[in-house]
Amino acid sequence: MKNTLKASISALVLCLFAGAAVASGTHAGGHAHDDEAIGKPGKASAASRTVKVDMSDDMRFTPANIQVRQGETVRFVIRNAGSLKHEFVLGTEKELKEHYELMKKNPEMEHSDPGMVTLAAGQSGEIVWQFTRAGKVDFACLQPGHYDAGMKGKIDVAKAKAAPDPAGHSH
Nearest in space to 39 (alpha carbons), one of 70, 61, 65: 70
Residue 18 lies in a domain: no
Residue 52 lies in a domain: yes
Residue 24 lies in a domain: no
Q: Domain with 53 in it: what CATH number?
A: 2.60.40.420
In sequence order, what are the beta bridge partners of 56? 60
pLDDT averaged over every residue in the chain: 80
Statement: the pTM of the whole predicted model exceeds 0.75: no
Residue 150 lies in a domain: yes
Answer whether 137's CB lies under 8 Å from 131's CB. Answer: yes
Buried b (16+ CB within 10 A) or exposed e, 40-50: bebeeeebeee
Domain count, the chain: 1
pLDDT greater than 70 at residue 35: no
Count of CB atoms within 10 A of residue 14's CB?
10
Structural domain span for residue 49: 34-158
Each residue of 127-161: pLDDT tens digit? 999 999 999 999 999 998 999 999 999 999 999 88
Residue 50 lies in a domain: yes
Residue 154 lies in a domain: yes
Residue 165 lies in a domain: no
